[in-house]
Amino acid sequence: MCGRYTQHQSTDQIVIRFEVDSVLHETTPRYNIAPTQRAPVVLQARVGSGRVLDAFKWGLIPSWAKDPTIGNRLLNARAETAAEKPSFRSALSRRRCLLPADGYYEWQAVGKAKQPLYYHFIDTDLFAFAGLWETWNSPEGEAVHSFTILTTEPNSLAAVAHDRMPVILGREDEALWLDPEVTDVNRILHLMRPAEAERMAVYPVSPRVNKPADDDAGLVEPFVPGNDHNTSPSHPLTLF
């Protein structure tokens, strides 16, 4: 599962990290990227073309869809079955992308409440979710570009909160994932595996993240109960 994530690095940082050749959309710091919103994607659409940084809508709309609201149900794709599902199998073969991120949120049940947690890497500020993208043409002729995030079984740290986690590609695997010449999905199935738990960290954050309209740096600060604004906590709560 992946329902919210962050990407607050600069366009230049993304360009350098992912070896982008062309920027079609400048990025802005985001601390609460939510479904249906536009977010940065890196893709290589054709053989011989360079890598492009653009922004697509979160929620995959297959090219054959009659109703674009299907995208609201296709925010994630299970890695184990994506090659079999009509909504994902063509994209898995021919339209894979990188989704730049620096962390993601998950919710842990604490009594009758749910405590939001922030997962990130210890050894890097910027990584990539494995994504799939599509283009859907509306009856009015508008081209809508959208994406979904692949998920897999959780590592030991992610399992604290959920039975799924986003597929986070190893840096050494990103070129193969993007390669438009690779259309045999058997060559990329092994890339969709859980990230190493030892490289990751997690801590509680403010319930303000529940509101998509809230999108500021305070959301990724460690949470202190009773500090509603959560701007400068001095004694971070840990659940682990």
Which residues are catalytically annotated? 2, 106
**Rounded-to-integer distance, Cα 6 and Cα 42, Å:** 16
From 50, 76, 62, select the one nearest 180 (Cα to Cα). Answer: 50
Residues forming beta bridges with residue 109, ordered by sequence position: 114
Please give the Cα distance from 81 to 65 (Å, whole number).
20
Percentage helix, strand, coil for the chain under 3-state DSSP, each rounded to 5: 20, 30, 50
Element (H, E) at 30: strand 30-33
CA distance linking residue 142 with residue 150, whole number of Å: 26
In sequence order, what are the residues at sequence separation of 6 or more whose Cβ sits closer than 8 angstroms to the Cβ of residue 22?
Answer: 50, 51, 52, 53
Give residues with Cβ within 8 angstroms of 219, minimum separation 6: 6, 31, 32, 205, 206, 208, 209, 230
Q: Note the helical H segments in the chain.
A: 11-17, 89-94, 174-178
